[in-house]
Amino acid sequence: MDQKLLDHLKQITDEEQAILDGKHTIDPTLYNLENSMTIDSKKLLEHGKLIQIRPHTRFVHFPKHNHNYVEVIYMCSGHTVHIINDVRINLRAGELLFLNQNAIQEIYPAGYDDVAVNFIILPEFFDTPLMMLGSEDSMLRTFLIDCLKKGNQNISYLHFKVADILPIQNLVENLIWTLQYGLPNKRSVNQTTMGLLFLHLTNHIDKIELGRDHLEQGLMFSVFQYIEENYRDGSLSALSEKLGYDLSWMSRMIKKQTKKNYKELLQEKRLKQAAYLLSETSLSITDISLHVGYNNFSYFYRIFKNKFGVSPNQYRNS
């Protein structure tokens, strides 16, 4: 991180100075925690803003709480320890922690060099980043966005260990810089930057940790990632062998989590990819059918029409 920006973020805040002077707890009035465990965005966000940053308060234990907004924590230097829904997370320099409204968070005291930035974000801020993810539909991307924008009940946090991914580090620093120094057109700049950040994060799903109590949700990340990368010829048996799980157990888990079986998920991805190629390329319909994994063209025509209500030709010309 730029040293000038890091030095600025390291400055002792009034709240931290009070703690260093002998106050041993946070000031609950700053967070709406006098009679509640929910931190209110109205306490932290200026009126009319969808996103704002504040340095994480060091030197003090932060008791259990949740938020009525999405919080993103970026570790600029050092590390912090968080307990999220009873799961211990060590957040290290360069890592990101996304928390939705269902996360119950507790934070252990941090030292002077443990500098973190908290992004306070209203869910509607993600509208533009979601549109930036493109017209090519992705179950994986939708799954990620649902965790944040809609407050997925099963997954309350996403921990990205991306300290070694330079484009992600640059984008986060750009976000912090823009919000800290109030550059012109910052809302559109910030939403565009967040969209680019999402695009990069979805390319590094292997860097996500969901916590040891979320085996089934972690499995679904792997399933969606596999389908995204292998929709042409990927099989459930190959995936179960790759992940080291029993085939029947995996089939049951997929059905439990998505209400669909693997074949239905695969077909959904293939047809959405075909629709994207029909709209965005000049490939022949035969080539598109082959590209998405269908050698039987009559079958492809039939299931495409069942899905979209029109033939591939009509879809392209509409």
Domains and CATH numbers, the chain: 3-209 (2.60.120.280), 215-317 (1.10.10.60)
Q: Which residues contact 239 (CB under 8 A, 6 or more apart)?
A: 222, 223, 226, 250, 262
- Judge whether 39 and 32 are in contact, CB under 8 Å: yes
User: What is residue 312's predicted lDDT score, i.e. its pLDDT?
Assistant: 95
Share the mean pLDDT of the chain.
87
Structure tokens at 237: 């048996």
The total number of residues shown for the chain amounts to 318
Torsions phi, psi of 64, nearest 5?
Answer: -55, 135
Which of 185, 293, 301 has its CA nearest to residue 229? 293
User: What is residue 306's predicted lDDT score, i.e. its pLDDT?
Assistant: 95
Instruction: State yes or no: pLDDT of 212 exceeds 80.
Output: no
Residue 188: left if φ>0, alpha if ψ -120 to 50, beta else—which one? Answer: alpha
- 65 forms beta bridges with 105
Q: Side chain identity at 206, as an amino acid letter?
A: D
The overall longest dimension of the chain from CA atoms, in Å, is: 77
Q: Which residues contact 232 (CB under 8 A, 6 or more apart)?
A: 270, 291, 292, 293
Instruction: State yes or no: pLDDT of 236 exceeds 90.
Output: yes
Percent of all residues in the chain with a pLDDT value above 90, rounded to a whole number: 55
Cα angle 143, 144, 150 (rounded to 5 degrees) comes to 80
Give residue 102's pLDDT band: very low, low, confident or very high (50, 70, 90). Answer: confident
Whether the model pTM is above 0.85: no
Cα angle 10, 12, 16 (rounded to 5 degrees) comes to 125
User: What is residue 142's predicted lDDT score, i.e. its pLDDT?
Assistant: 63
More confident of the two residues 60 and 185: 60
Give residue 138's pLDDT band: very low, low, confident or very high (50, 70, 90). Answer: low
The rounded distance, in Å, linking the Cα atoms of 132 and 123 is 16
